[in-house]
A and B are shown apart, each in its own frame.
Chain A
Amino acid sequence: MKNISLGQYYPGNSVIHRMDPRMKLILSLLYIVCSFLCRNIISFGLLFVSAIVLILLSRIPMSLIMRSIRPILFILAFTVVINIFWTSGETLLFEWKFIHIYLEGVMNAVFMVLRIFVLIVGASLFLTYTTTPIALTDAIEQLFAPLKRIKVPVHEFAMMMTIALRFIPTLIDETDKIMSAQKARGADFTSGSLINRAKALIPILIPLFVSSFRRADELATAMECRCYHGGEGRTRMSILHYRALDFIAILIMITFGVSLVLLNMLGIGYTM
């Protein structure tokens, strides 16, 4: 249990790893917007190429990327089925009784799958795989700092996230210990009906809750002893700095978006 890692961070030193987390947050949003800008086969082609380039740049193994795709395979399959069978168009490809498959449907299915694939790859490459959760928290706190003026508790939210991240491994460790302790007293978590197994979890959850509250109390005291009094007047040790790399990245991203829009104007092939 000591080896549990937070999030899905894949340690590395690629160009993407080195970018400012705030910029990565912005880039991932822009990239998602870009995927929705695509309309025809050429712009979708460019989008697909860009995803491959990003994967290569980040030096994240393909197997890891595939793992992040796996949970959405069902959604992908569903999208394909819906698009193929329920899109009507002009070019009929296949007809059997009540089933009509049009070229437009097939194209739509391919485009949608590509879009979702790029969505997931973009978000996971820029954020989860190349940015530590703590850097992400910092980025969120600093990016949304202006919202403090309209009384959005940005600092408090970021602090909560930090503490949650800090305590996940600790609580997993504790769950493990409680489970062992209950097993030693003859508790059985693995057999019986679903309801019985859910019931067997109660003796784990209650001690876990009790100890979490105790921990929270002690942590609050310790934080008070270290002069914590909210975000006001607080400075940070590590201040994020945008560097040349970040500006180049956003320029490339904007050019990419613009070229996608331009490519859409070329009336080549089927337009979504």
Chain B
Amino acid sequence: MENTKNYFIKTEDLCASYEEDDGRAVQVLSGVSLGIEKGEYVAVLGHNGSGKSTFAKLLNMILLPDSGKIYIDGTDITREDITEKEIYDIRRKIGMVFQNPDNQLVATIVEEDVAFGPENLGIPSAEIRQRVDEALSLVGMSEYARHEPHRLSGGQKQRVAIAGIIAMMPDCMIFDESTAMLDPIGRKEVMDTIDMLRREKGITIINITHHMNEAVRADRVIVLNDGKVYMDGTPEEIFGEPYKLELAGLEVPQCTALIQELSRKGLRLDGECTTPEKCAKLLRNAIGGKKNG
């Protein structure tokens, strides 16, 4: 218990499984111990079936673990005598945005949907109004407040879903492959919104993804493989080990791969790179250096 205070989310030896249709139990998580601090931006990587979605759903008690402990903000949420009120409090603190933007919007009008969470929490009307307006302006959707969700683009719908969580004033937001069904423009909209939330609100972000380009935006990358924490470190550290990643069924971002390949071929490049911008800078330096010399 002495360590739980320092972490916003802490898991100890978490195990989870689900039952297949034929009654066969499938072990999804086997002994995940992690600590995530308040305000951290964490990307969780892993190939399909690596248990990353299950991990997310355990954190806000949508699923329950077979064994192990989860502490949220110092509260043990895996204990037997947890009250319903505490469960709702955990779900308010840890908001979740899912993959399919269509399947998480409830109301037929954007602002009504954003109000759905606060309404469930029993917040007075005037305050809901205020929260909804703030949340919509934060994600840049104020002008669509009276629109019908089905007329919006995927990225816009996802921003509305984010606003719906923001209106509940969470401490942490989990994005469960929230960009997987979006086109590149929508994906950029959502990723920029995530960055903004972190910057402006100091919300702890957990982004579950299999896009490497998204993972590099985080402070910390956790790779799950076969239900275990396989790698844990900064994006530079993680993508610095392409072979190890490949064993987990993942690839490094293209620009990182390019630099690594060039280095191997003998081009002298300084440092690791994870973003296209850094990559361009490294290459320009390298080429510029050659011309001058």
Interface of A with B (CB < 8 Å)? Answer: 2, 6, 133-134, 162-163, 165-166, 169-170, 173, 215, 218-219, 221-229, 233-239
Whether A227 pairs with B120 at a CB distance below 8 angstroms is yes
Of residues 150 through 184 on chain B, the ones whose CB sits less than 8 Å from some CB of chain A are 150-151, 164-165, 168
Are A134 and B107 also in contact (CB < 8 A) when A218-B100, A234-B119 are? yes
Closest chain A CB from B95 CB (angstroms): 7
Whether A219 pairs with B122 at a CB distance below 8 angstroms is no
Secondary structure of the B side of the interface?
helix
Are A238 and B125 also in contact (CB < 8 A) when A133-B108, A226-B165 are? yes
* 4 closest A-B pairs by CB: A222-B104, A237-B115, A218-B103, A169-B150
Whether A218 pairs with B108 at a CB distance below 8 angstroms is no
Whether A226 pairs with B103 at a CB distance below 8 angstroms is no
Is B105 interfacial (CB 8 A cutoff)? yes
A229 to B86, CA, bound (A): 13
Are A237 and B118 also in contact (CB < 8 A) when A162-B108, A225-B60, A229-B88 are? yes
Whether B104 pairs with A227 at a CB distance below 8 angstroms is no
Interface of B with A (CB < 8 Å)? Answer: 57, 60, 62, 84, 88, 91-92, 95-96, 98, 100, 102-109, 111-112, 115-125, 128-129, 132, 148-151, 164-165, 168
CB contacts (< 8 Å) of A165 on chain B: these are 108
CB contacts (< 8 Å) of A221 on chain B: these are 57, 62, 98
CB contacts (< 8 Å) of B119 on chain A: these are 234-237
> Nearest residue in A to B89 (C-beta to C-beta)?
A227
Whether B120 pairs with A166 at a CB distance below 8 angstroms is no
Whether A226 pairs with B164 at a CB distance below 8 angstroms is yes
Most buried by B among A133, A169, A215, A225: A225
A233 to B123, CA, bound (A): 9
Are A166 and B128 also in contact (CB < 8 A) when A222-B103, A227-B121, A227-B168 are? no
Closest chain A CB from B5 CB (angstroms): 26
CB contacts (< 8 Å) of A229 on chain B: these are 84, 88, 120
Closest chain A CB from B272 CB (angstroms): 36
> Nearest residue in A to B120 (C-beta to C-beta)?
A227
Q: Beyond the given A224-B62, A229-B88, could you list 10 further A-B residue pairs with CB under 8 A, ordered by the A residue number? A: A163-B106, A169-B148, A173-B150, A219-B103, A222-B96, A226-B95, A226-B117, A234-B119, A236-B119, A237-B129
Closest chain B CB from A125 CB (angstroms): 22
A173 to B102, CA, bound (A): 11
Contact among B91, B100, B151 with A224 in the assembled complex (CB-CB below 8 Å): B91
CB contacts (< 8 Å) of B62 on chain A: these are 221, 224-225
Whether A228 pairs with B116 at a CB distance below 8 angstroms is yes
Contact among B57, B149, B150, B168 with A226 in the assembled complex (CB-CB below 8 Å): B168
Are A226 and B108 also in contact (CB < 8 A) when A169-B150, A219-B103 are? no
Whether B150 pairs with A219 at a CB distance below 8 angstroms is no
Are A237 and B128 also in contact (CB < 8 A) when A166-B108, A221-B62 are? yes
CB contacts (< 8 Å) of A224 on chain B: these are 62, 91
Closest chain B CB from A211 CB (angstroms): 10
A78 to B19, CA, bound (A): 60
Most buried by B among A163, A218, A226: A226
A134 to B111, CA, bound (A): 12
Contact among B95, B132, B148 with A225 in the assembled complex (CB-CB below 8 Å): B95
A236 to B48, CA, bound (A): 39
Are A218 and B109 also in contact (CB < 8 A) when A229-B88, A239-B125 are? no
Closest chain B CB from A44 CB (angstroms): 39
CB contacts (< 8 Å) of A162 on chain B: these are 106-108
A229 to B124, CA, bound (A): 17
> Nearest residue in B to A224 (C-beta to C-beta)?
B62
Q: What are 6 A-to-B residue pairs whose CB atoms are below 8 Å?
A: A134-B109, A162-B107, A163-B106, A170-B102, A221-B98, A226-B168
CB contacts (< 8 Å) of B118 on chain A: these are 235, 237
Whether A219 pairs with B91 at a CB distance below 8 angstroms is no
Are A235 and B124 also in contact (CB < 8 A) when A166-B108, A170-B102, A227-B91 are? yes
CB contacts (< 8 Å) of A233 on chain B: these are 122
CB contacts (< 8 Å) of A170 on chain B: these are 102, 150
Closest chain A CB from B195 CB (angstroms): 22
> Nearest residue in A to B111 (C-beta to C-beta)?
A237
Are A237 and B98 also in contact (CB < 8 A) when A227-B120, A229-B120 are? no
CB contacts (< 8 Å) of B168 on chain A: these are 226-227
